[in-house]
Structure 1
Amino acid sequence: MAQETEMRAKKLVHEGSTIHKEKPFVYVLSSKVRTEYCDFCMKKGKFLKCSGCHYVYYCGKICQKDAWNVHKFECRNLKRIAPRTLPDAARLLARLIHILRKGGDLTKSYYLENCFRMYKDLMSHYPNIKGDQQRMEHFTSLCAVLFDFLGDDSLPNSAELMGMYGRMCINSFNIIDQELQCLGTGMYLGASVIDHSCNPNAVAIFEGPILHIRALKTLQYLDWSEIRISYIDVLNTTKDRQKELEAAYYFLCQCPRCLAPEPPEINAAACPNDQCDNYIDAESASANDKCGKCGAAITENFLELFKQVIEFTDIHLQNMKQLAYFDVCEICLQKQRGVLHKFNIKHVKTLDLAFQSSIDFQKWDFARTYALELVDAFHKYYGQMHPITGLLHLKLGKILVFEEKDAFAFDHLTKAYQILKITHGVNSTIFKEELIPLLQQTRMTVPR
């Protein structure tokens, strides 16, 4: 038996293979979308409101019945505290308390035939949490909320509760839809075995709350010690990625991408000659230096302008972390043109926000322009095989179909096909119901 298991483990893993599939140990739908998605299966549709708490919604009687085992303990309390609502983190922690009291600590989540993880295998990071002022403030506020919601008798002691909080913080996944919009948060015991890399060989994709880990590259065999996903958005400098990982997960990444020199364009200025596509290392450049490609002079005024635009952009990117404003993005981009290089990470981030907000406001001309500028940058920073890159091609293809530019649309939809069949899979909703019909539609009008 051991030999058979080893032989299966040594089998070639093709790119696009689902190497792990798992239901959440505990999860919660985001309160921001609670009236738009089913609280149990996380699908969109027509809903029934829970007649008890009037807070959660279900897509039908089946989901309501399946959810009752977890929802019944919170239903009366949600009704009791109304019209106040429970923060998502507090609701997730309350559900975790309930599940553990019902024997959840004995749950085994298998990632191989004979390998599994249990709740006790998750690290609590107790000393790190204790020394983290921001998280301690959050934990203290959650304790007050939970005391009001559950009552003193239902709460574990403070040390045990902090251990739960630490495990929740470090091991939670953002549950995202197929367009990578956040729908909620969940803990997955088996998948918690997977470490991080800024250059991952696997990706986490969701169908409702069900987690799928898919291989982005062909692997000689499945070795879980070598499987890596990215815990964060990698569209950032190494310094900022390291800062984010240390703050959220208490480690410094040592992946090849973090150890390698950064692309020189990532913090660069554009060449003052608008006919030249070279980059200028503004940090080391001084007045009277020249572009190494075209010989254009680098003036003191240009370096000062670069510094001002970077500071201006930083302020607005920080302010738009939760919500992008189209007009603000436009102002930032106007200031950046001719000053920041096209691959400067702050310019790319601004373009991305401008693209998303232009779609929200149905400004299709702007959206197409921004998407076309983003394509090369996304391939550079996310890589050729990444769900974000695939979705960019899909969205651009949809815009071009709307504009009746089918030949261009077909090209981008084909690129989306090549990526999304790996990252999402041919049976995913977005692949079957969105991409394939558009491809078939445009293929019929493209000259052969």
Structure 2
Amino acid sequence: MNCDMFLKGSVLHMEKPFVHALSSNMKHKRCDHCYAEFELFKCTACQYVKYCDRVCQKLAWPDHKKECPALKNLPPNRELPNTARLLARIILKLKRGGGNEQGWYDKNKYRIFRDLMSHYADIKTDDKRTSQAECLYEVLKDYIGEDALPNFTEFLGIYGRMVVNSFNILDGEMSELGTGIYLGASTIDHSCEPNAVATFNGTTITVRAIRDIPDFNWTKVRISYIETLKSHVERNRELYPRYYFDCDCPRCDPSSEACLLENSIACAKCGSAIYADQEDPVCSSCHRKPPFDVFIKYQDVLTFTKHQHDAMKSVAYLDACKLCLEKQNGLFHPDNIYFVRTMDLAFEASIQLQKWEDSIDLGPKLIPGYEKYYGTHHPILGLHYLKLGKILLLKDEYEKAMDALEKGQAILEVSHGKDHPLCKSELSSLLLQAKSILYNL
């Protein structure tokens, strides 16, 4: 694929999975084949998986045929680990000749499963991963039988290809539904400043540009493998154990402004950033050096903030977020990553608690931070506008709701495409509702 410029919104890649597995917590809510949320019926043989119709059941049969009796033999109320089911599907597909299936990613380039990086040497020296692989091998012996399994050395290579190359399959609102292996898409490298994003319609992955890509070639395409609303230290702490590499993108260069801003203090004189990670920090604009006690206070508040964030990994607490924001006020620069994350947690907590006035106050304040760290056309920003628009509609703020929804639409049509159900159904319906009330239609 070669041309001068790919504009944001351009489809760079589209692919169906080599294998996929619906998360077990979704099996009563989603079709096991297409992941649609319809009225479902159980597979009459195993009673474990559900489908939305006979068409999906028939299409799923090649992958389900061999696992069906194994699922049927599971003890009652036992949930098969998601990773074990995905691994079993890979192994069973390879046994029936699926190793020759081609995943195209350019005009004349493709990958087969064995072309995926296994990181075998890395995993052999990684006690945590090796231990997990050994446990999964035992689980799979019980599940599909020892005769169906390759020897452990070969299994470790398959396991490595799965853990390093799998994608979380997401719904339109970026919530996880399952996991899939995409042979072509797995060639796309990581950046903490991605120029593309992967979205899903059912199990089909679509990669779209979220920034213009001049002098396009495939090797320039970058997506983010991890959540990027974190400091460069946290991101690399997450990347290496999962993918066995350190990121060298501009945001991860310790001397770059993008990286320095993550840990920045607001200048009391002019409001510009003071980079706390520099050896002799001064204001980046007026060059004023703050008193030493400012750095002491900053470190105290930063430590407190990190502690609160760690305590909110599963549930965000609005009161704790507000206390952090109160301590950060006037001290943390608006682009400080910990300030933006606190705002993010506070906004989500306000929604969970249905504290709509807080949501309406926090939502607009979060937008500059999202634009800074996600970019102007990232789906996270688009979904933020969508959430804000819904809340404003609920509170009869119709003009503001229209503005938020239209801004969300402009972003989500780039990241997801106009024909994605999120844009075509949910967003269109909300816009119609707002317009009908606003213009008395």
Is the TM value for this pair above 0.5?
yes
> What is the Cα deviation at residue 209 of structure 1?
0.7
Q: Distance in 2 between the 1:36 and 1:363 partners? A: 28
Contact 2:273–2:283, Cα closer than 8 Å, also in 1? no
Matched, 1:52 2:48: no
Aligned length: 436
Aligned counterpart, 1:3: none
Q: Give the drift of 1:86.
A: 1.2
What letter is aligned with 2:28?
Answer: T
- Taking structure 1 as reference, are residues 291 and 298 closer, same or farther at Cα in structure 2, changes over 3 Å only? farther
Correspondence for 2:353 among 352, 361, 375? 361
Which residue of 2 is the match for residue 410 of structure 1? 402
* Cα separation, partners in 2 of 1:55 and 1:325, compared to 1, 3 Å: farther
Matches within 5 A, 1:413-432: 413-432=405-424
RMSD: 2.9
What corresponds to 1:96 in structure 2? 90
Change (3 A) 1:219 1:308: closer
Indicate the residue corresponding to 2:57 in structure 1. Answer: 64
Distance 1:47 1:243, change over 3 A: same
Secondary structure at the aligned position of 2:248 is classed as: coil
The residue identity in structure 2 corresponding to 1:67 is A
1:210 is aligned with what amino acid?
T
Structure 1 residue 81 and structure 2 residue 77: aligned?
no
Query: Which ranges in structure 2 are unaligned for 5 or more consecutive residues?
Result: none
Using a 3 Å threshold, how does the CA distance of structure 1 residues 205 and 291 change in structure 2: closer, same or farther? closer
Q: Deviations over 1:237-269 (max 9, x none)?
A: 223223322221111222233336134442124
The corresponding residue for 2:252 is 258
| Contact 1:272–1:298 under 8 Å retained in 2 | no
Q: In the aligned structure 1, how far is the partner of 2:312 from the partner of 2:178?
A: 21
What's the % identity of the aligned pairs?
A: 43
Contact 2:46 2:71 in 1 (8 A): yes
Go from structure 1 to structure 2 and tell me whether the alpha carbon gap of 1:296 and 1:239 turns closer, same or farther (over 3 Å shift): closer
Equivalent of residue 217 in structure 1, options 194, 197, 211: 211
Task: Name the amino acid aligned to 1:251.
Answer: F
- 2:257 is paired with a residue of what secondary structure? coil
1:266 aligned partner, one-letter code: E
Q: 1:394 matched to which residue of 2? A: 386
SS in 1 for 2:6: coil
Give the Cα separation in 1 of the matches to 2:12 and 2:106: 10
State the alpha-carbon separation in 2 of the partners of residues 267 and 419 from structure 1: 28
CA contact (8 A) 1:272 1:296 kept: no
Alignment of 1:17-416 (within 5 A): 17-82=10-75, 83-220=77-214, 222-259=216-253, 261-263=256-258, 264-270=260-266, 277-282=271-276, 298=291, 300=293, 303-416=295-408
Structure 2 match to 1:5: none
Helix, strand or coil: the match of 1:111?
A: strand
SS in 2 for 1:54: coil
Which range is displaced more, 177-186 or 310-319? Answer: 310-319
Task: Name the stretch that deviates more: 239-248 or 328-337.
Answer: 328-337
Q: Are 2:106 and 2:218, in contact at CA under 8 Å, matched by a contact in 1?
A: no
Shift of 1:363: 2.3
SS of the residue corresponding to residue 218 of structure 2 reads: coil
Matched to 1:73, the amino acid is K
Tell me the CA shift for residue 147 of structure 1.
1.8
Among 423, 429, 432, the residue aligned to 1:437 = 429
C-alpha distance in 2, partners of 1:65/1:137? 37
- Give structure 1 stretches of 5+ with no counterpart: 1-7
| More off after superposition, 71-80 vs 178-187 | 71-80
Q: In structure 2, the residue corresponding to 1:149 is in which secondary structure?
A: helix
Structure-2 separation of matches of 1:128 and 1:434: 44
- How far residue 380 of structure 1 moved from its aligned partner, in angstroms, is 1.0
Amino acid at match of 2:363: A
Per mean C-alpha deviation after superposition, the further-off stretch among 428-437 and 162-171 is 428-437
Change (3 A) 1:294 1:257: closer
Residues of 1 paired with 2:319 and 2:234: CA distance?
A: 26
* Offset at residue 189 of structure 1 (A): 0.4
Matched position secondary structure for 1:141? helix
Displacement of 1:397: 1.6
Q: CA deviation at 1:407?
A: 1.9
Change over 3 Å in CA distance of 1:340–1:115 after alignment to 2:
same
Contact 2:250–2:256 (CA<8 Å) still a contact in 1? Answer: no
Q: Which amino acid aligns with 1:413?
A: L
Q: Which moved more, 1:230-239 or 1:375-384?
A: 230-239
Rounded to whole Å, the distance in 1 between the matches of 2:385 and 2:231 is 24
1:10 aligns with 2:7: no
**Contact 1:48–1:57 under 8 Å retained in 2:** yes
